[in-house]
Amino acid sequence: MLVRSVDDRKIENLKQLLAECTDCVVLTHSRPDGDAMGSSLALSLFLKACGKKATVVVPNDYPPFLAWMPSIADVLVYDKNVAAAEEVLKNADLFFCLDFNSLSRIDEVGKVVAELPTKRVLIDHHLAPDNVFDISISHPEACSTAELVFKVLWQMGEADRIDASIAECIYTGIMTDTGNFAYASGRKEVYHIVAELISKGIDKDLIYRRVFYNYSFSRMRLLGFMMYEKLRYFPEYNAALITLTYDEFMRFHAAKGDTEGIVNMPLQIKGVRFSCFLREEMPGKVNVSLRSVDDFPCNKVAEKFFSGGGHKNASGGEVRGTMDEAVQLFEKALADYSRELTE
């Protein structure tokens, strides 16, 4: 059964804000993933169905394997079209902030938003949101922000407005943030929601193929290269590391999105509880992705060593420096967390 776990006073406040607004902007985090796009597109489609203007603004582009998503062509990518995005932000009378907990997670968009008096509604499942939202619907126990969007619509009494397109977007968010129900998805309510989505007419197997069976040949070759040449196993720490330099990325004609999900793979090695993927995005900047299983808090490692954060089992950050420096930081983190990794 579905549970009314979102505070009903917040739902009432949200209904009030919705009644008063005409021009909404839905914001989601930098380097948006399936949940960021799924939750944002679902909410924007709902708002449009209610007769509002609604635009999704993302700080930078979404990965190509999400290009099939309903209405994604209408998304405004800030770093590709700064003037148009700023115009839309300035004209909005309500902001929805989805799948992030701090304005710093939306890069330059956050600076624009911080200067505007427009009310902000947070719907998110990351820990400890900043205190900069007028309504804060923050549920770290939720598997995804998409799940929360479903809950909010349902609690508002608007479940009937969820059509097949909205349901596809919500399902995509739930499916991607749980690794197709491999983690963070042990609550039975998740499956009641999935059942509701299926009753709206989605083809869940098709969505799976669109997202996960949609890679390029170059990605497969890159994957082989990384697993064979670039994967390091640290059995004494139950950990693994994959690195990819900018030159290697270019050599394999890899595209944005081609490295998606690779950080999870070393967790398939028996005993590995902590996995790190270091990708040199450009010379001098290394992007950090961390994953863990059970109780090992990789977000603490992200905070302490990589100026980042995230969830207990999925987090990230960056290193302003060389790949060697990033690797050294990772090795230092292993030594620092040796007890937690081996107990």
Residues that bind Mn ion in the complex, under the rule CB under 5 A: 35, 99, 144-145, 177
Q: Distance from first CA to last CA of the chain, Å, rounded?
A: 38
Residue 197 vs 314, nearer CB to ligand 5GP: 314
Which one of residues 146, 254, 314, 323 is an interface residue with ligand 5GP (CB under 6 A)?
314
185 binds, among ligand 5GP, Mn ion, none (CB under 5 to 8 A by kind): none
126 binds, among ligand 5GP, Mn ion, none (CB under 5 to 8 A by kind): ligand 5GP
Q: Which is nearer to ligand 5GP, 129 or 317 (CB)?
A: 317
Residues 263-282 that bind ligand 5GP (CB under 6 A): 263
Query: Considering CB under 6 A, how many residues would be counted as binding ligand 5GP?
Result: 13
Residue 94, SS3? strand
243 binds, among Mn ion, ligand 5GP, none (CB under 5 to 8 A by kind): none
The closest alpha carbon to 172, from 25, 246, 65, belongs to: 65
Binding mask 89-128 for ligand 5GP (x = CB under 6 A): -------------------------------------x--
Task: Give the separation between CA 299 and CA 140, rounded to whole angstroms.
Answer: 13
Residues sharing a CB contact under 8 Å with residue 333, sequence separation 6 or more, in sequence order:
301, 304, 305
Q: Compute the least distance from the CB of residue 291 to ligand 5GP, in Å.
A: 7
The CA R_g of the chain, rounded to the nearest whole Å, is 20
Least Å from the CB of residue 288 to ligand 5GP: 7
Site for ligand 5GP in 316-335 (CB under 6 A): 316-318
Does 315 bind ligand 5GP (CB under 6 A)? Our answer is yes
Report in angstroms the alpha-carbon separations of 189 from 94, 139, 147.
30, 14, 10
| CB-based contact 99:36 (threshold 8 Å) | yes
Give CA–CA dist 179/177, Å, rounded: 6
Q: Binding of ligand 5GP at residue 257 (CB under 6 A)?
A: no
- Residue 32 interacts with ligand 5GP (CB under 6 A)? no
User: Cβ-count burial of 188 within 10 angstroms (0-12 exposed, 13-18 middle, 19+ buried)?
Assistant: exposed
Q: What is the dihedral angle through the alpha carbons of 299, 61, 320, 238, rounded to the nearest 10 degrees?
A: 40
Instruction: Give whole-number Cα distances, 326 to 70, 303, 307, 330, in Å.
Output: 38, 14, 12, 6
Does position 310 bind ligand 5GP by CB under 6 A? yes
We find the least distance from the C-beta atom of residue 39 to Mn ion, in angstroms, to be 7
Beta carbon of residue 181, minimum distance to ligand 5GP (angstroms, whole number): 17
Q: Please report how close the Cβ of residue 79 comes to ligand 5GP at its closest, in angstroms.
A: 16
Min CB(40)–Mn ion separation in Å: 11
Give the pair of three-digit tokens for residue 256: 């944005």
Burial of residue 213, with CB atoms counted within 10 A of its CB: 0-12 exposed, 13-18 middle, 19 or more buried? exposed
Contact footprint for ligand 5GP (CB under 6 A): 33, 126, 263, 289, 308-311, 314-318
